């Protein structure tokens, strides 16, 4: 299965949608970073676009633990996030979008850049691509991660 984690108002075509708001038009609801009603090891691909910079840094280990839980061994995690040099301009766009146009107060708008990559555990980076102001990173879930689950 292919999962779009944090689909927002623009779910990725060809992927099952999931979001924090629980609207009825999503396939899955996310609560406390966990995709409810989705079994571990059920995803071949997880796509996560413009989500991570809205998550408080202290919660990033929970997020990546969920990605580890959901992905099959060898599964792909595709992350698209604003590059550090575009953090400020992205913050301004987010303020306009979430506070004025959408009037959405639940979305966190971090004032400083967080290097989320230091929280990516159990994955191997296989591809990097820059697209506009975003960096797109493709990881594969390490086979060793799956083995560690059985040892512990």
Choose the CATH number for 2-151 among 3.30.413.10, 3.20.20.80, 3.40.50.150, 3.40.50.2300: 3.40.50.150
67 alpha-carbon distance from chain centroid: 8
Query: In tens digits, what is the pLDDT along the chain, a chain of 152 residues?
Result: 999 999 988 899 999 999 998 677 899 999 999 999 999 999 999 999 999 999 999 999 999 999 999 999 999 999 999 999 999 999 999 899 888 888 887 788 888 999 999 999 999 999 999 999 999 999 999 976 544 444 44
């Amino acid at each position: 299965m292919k999962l779009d984690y944090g689909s927002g108002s623009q779910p990725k075509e060809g992927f099952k949608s999931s979001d924090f708001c629980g609207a009825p038009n999503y396939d899955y609801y996310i609560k406390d970073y966990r995709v409810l009603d989705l079994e571990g090891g059920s995803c071949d691909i997880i796509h996560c676009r413009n989500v991570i910079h809205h998550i408080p840094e202290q919660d990033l280990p929970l997020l990546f633990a969920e990605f580890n839980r959901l992905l099959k061994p060898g599964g792909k995690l595709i992350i698209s996030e604003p590059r550090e040099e575009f953090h400020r301009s992205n913050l301004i766009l987010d303020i306009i979008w979430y506070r004025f146009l959408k009037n959405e107060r639940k979305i966190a708008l971090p004032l400083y850049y967080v290097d989320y990559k230091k929280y990516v555990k159990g994955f191997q980076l296989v591809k990097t691509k820059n697209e506009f102001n975003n960096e797109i990173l493709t990881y594969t879930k390490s086979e060793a991660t799956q083995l560690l689950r059985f040892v512990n």
